[in-house]
């Protein structure tokens, strides 16, 4: 549902640790290096921080998104406490996980412990997933789907797959979609189009024509899924401007901002796309470090994740942090986009495609 323009920080994105136990080639995050002397927040400290922030901001969702919220016993304790706190405030909450340690989490929570959604990563059929996530990962996720234990704790399960040049051929997609439909009743699928930042090998990025082909292939299966959503940054789609001009992807005049601050649009009645930009992430997503700092986009993508952070959420007033974010957004708005102004991809891209754009949106 479209919403009217909103204020800052509609999405709390919590990074509760600095490791995930994997080294996936498509991951757009670096190996994080802890540079602060402060300890990571305890479960109680996370609860206290959220108890202070949620009533002020009233976010649409509290998400545990990175690195791996179920990685070890401490992380699982934090995850549990965060979910409990968000639910107490009647705020939607959930987590993104690679699924490796989810059995331990289910053993540690009560049978009636509930949260709003769970997002599990899977990169394709067994051989494809193993090449990315290692031996055993596919079987763990497949067993979870078959057993259906997740239904005791949430009604919504999303499966997330990052599409690269390695796993997105027509044959691979045919096999993967068929496998999902055989193992999950009306699955919810999120197809993340690889975000080709400095941490990702260039050859993994989707090429000109790939996205149109992937959309055509997905259309043959979409009616059998509960939902299929494409997630994309401007640089994820090298021919974004042409696909919008040709009506294959929705443009500025065909998207709306949802309650979480994300630009959404229909590709067809059965297919949807969510557009992300660094500008929107800065404005609408409050990304919090394991120590309680408000992270910058530069920091999230840097080994020193506290680079250019916007302040200490434990000791500074939120209004001060928001003002720093506003100044950063003003600088972004001041950058020239002469070749882009007036195009239907302008508000979606904001120059973020860089050299991946054929009209050189932001040289």
Residues 6+ away with beta carbon under 8 Å from 48: none
Which residue from 344, 341, 163, 342 is spatially nearest to 362, judged by alpha carbons?
341
- Whether the predicted pLDDT of 17 surpasses 50: yes
pLDDT tens figures, 177-224: 999 999 999 999 999 999 999 999 999 999 999 999 999 999 999 999
Average pLDDT over residues 296-323: 94
Q: What pLDDT score does 5 carry?
A: 45
Query: pLDDT tier at 361 (50, 70, 90 boundaries)?
Result: very low
Query: pLDDT tier at 359 (50, 70, 90 boundaries)?
Result: confident
Q: Give the C-alpha separation, 206 to 79, whole Å.
A: 33
CATH number of 11-335: 3.20.20.70
pLDDT tens figures, 132-185: 999 999 999 999 999 888 999 999 999 999 999 999 999 999 999 999 999 999
- Whether the predicted pLDDT of 117 surpasses 70: yes
Q: What pLDDT score does 360 carry?
A: 59
Q: Give the C-alpha separation, 297 to 300, whole Å.
A: 5
Average pLDDT over residues 234-249: 94
- Whether the predicted pLDDT of 279 surpasses 50: yes
Q: What pLDDT score does 363 carry?
A: 44
- Whether the predicted pLDDT of 26 surpasses 50: yes
Query: pLDDT tier at 339 (50, 70, 90 boundaries)?
Result: confident
Q: Tell me the pTM.
A: 0.93
Of all residues in the chain, the percent with pLDDT exceeding 90 is 83
Helix, strand, coil percent values for the chain (each to nearest 5): 40, 15, 45
Query: pLDDT tier at 334 (50, 70, 90 boundaries)?
Result: low
Radius of gyration for the alpha carbons in the chain, expressed in angstroms and rounded: 20
- Whether the predicted pLDDT of 362 surpasses 60: no
């Amino acid at each position: 549902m479209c919403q009217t323009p909103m204020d800052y920080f509609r999405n709390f994105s919590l990074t509760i640790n600095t490791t995930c136990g994997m080294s996936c080639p498509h991951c757009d995050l670096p190996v994080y290096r802890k540079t602060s002397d402060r300890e990571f927040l305890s479960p109680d400290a996370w609860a206290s921080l959220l108890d202070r922030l949620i009533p002020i901001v009233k976010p649409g969702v509290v998400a545990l998104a990175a690195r791996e919220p179920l990685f070890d016993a401490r992380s699982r304790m934090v995850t549990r406490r965060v979910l409990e706190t968000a639910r107490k405030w009647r705020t939607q909450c959930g987590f993104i996980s690679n699924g490796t340690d989810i059995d331990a989490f289910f053993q540690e929570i009560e049978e009636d412990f509930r949260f709003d959604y769970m997002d599990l990563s899977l990169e394709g059929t067994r051989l494809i997933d193993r090449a990315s996530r290692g031996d055993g990962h596919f079987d763990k996720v497949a067993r979870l789907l078959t057993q259906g234990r997740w239904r005791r704790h949430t009604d919504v399960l999303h499966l997330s797959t990052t599409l690269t040049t390695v796993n997105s051929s027509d044959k691979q997609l045919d096999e993967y979609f068929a496998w999902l439909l055989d193992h999950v009743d009306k699955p919810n699928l999120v197809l993340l189009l690889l975000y080709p930042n400095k941490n990702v090998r260039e050859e993994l990025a989707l090429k000109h024509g790939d996205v149109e082909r992937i959309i055509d292939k997905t259309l043959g299966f979409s009616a059998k899924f509960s939902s299929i959503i494409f997630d994309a940054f401007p640089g994820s789609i090298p021919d974004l401007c042409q696909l919008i001009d040709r009506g294959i992807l929705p443009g500025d005049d065909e998207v709306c901002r949802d309650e979480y601050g994300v630009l959404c649009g229909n590709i067809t009645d059965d297919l949807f796309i969510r557009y992300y930009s660094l500008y929107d992430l800065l404005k609408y997503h409050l990304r919090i470090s394991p120590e309680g700092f408000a992270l910058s986009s530069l920091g999230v993508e840097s080994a020193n994740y506290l680079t250019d952070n916007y302040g200490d959420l434990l000791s500074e007033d939120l209004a001060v942090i928001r003002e720093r974010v506003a100044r950063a957004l003003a600088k972004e708005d001041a950058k020239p986009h002469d070749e882009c102004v007036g195009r239907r991809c302008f508000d979606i891209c904001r120059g973020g495609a860089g050299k991946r754009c054929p009209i050189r949106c932001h040289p």
